[in-house]
Amino acid sequence: MAAPINEVAALKTAFSLLLIGTVLSSCLIPILIALFVFSNASSRRRPVFWVNIASILLGLAEGGVNIYGVVHNMLSPNIPPLPGLVTALPALSTLVPFIAEFALVLRIIAVYPYTTTPRLKFAAILAPTVLCKVLRLAFLITFLVKFDAAVQGSVSSIADGEALWGIWEPRAVWILECIDNG
């Protein structure tokens, strides 16, 4: 007996997501290796190095969670995934770029050190970035708390999405991220 067409289409989409997530996550492994190979002992003692390592490792964790979630949905579509897994993916996908951008803030501070930069100039350089990051982090935490509450006891990711459709925190985070990165 052949599989129904809608199941084949769902598997095709799942395979596409699995391939994209696996390839993009695996690209982080050579970057991590290069970071260790081309760094020296003094650069490994700097905070920027460790923030970069943390962002790469969290990116790999995000890829692992994504792969597990897609494979779980392909192999057992009638069994809902664990609520912690469902919460982990948006948490990682929003916090990984945040941490990677924090490395950029550390680089700005390295170029304009507090001790040699005039106070007004230092504040003008960092205040907008720090304000955007603090607001983004606050909205991210609020969103993740609401998201976690919505997926507890859930049976469908579609129902989760519909329950969270009207919240404004993700939109605020995206707008602040555009402003911050602009």
Q: Which domain holds residue 154?
A: 5-181
pLDDT tens digits, one per residue of 67-94: 998 888 888 877 877 878 888 888 898 8
pLDDT at 56: 95
pLDDT tens digits, one per residue of 156-181: 666 767 777 788 888 898 899 888 88
Domain count within the chain? 1
Supply the pTM of this predicted model.
0.82
Average pLDDT score, the chain = 86
Residue 1 clears pLDDT 60, i.e. is over it? no
Residue 15 clears pLDDT 60, i.e. is over it? yes
* Segments in the chain forming alpha helices (H): 5-26, 28-37, 41-44, 47-75, 83-111, 119-151, 157-163, 169-181
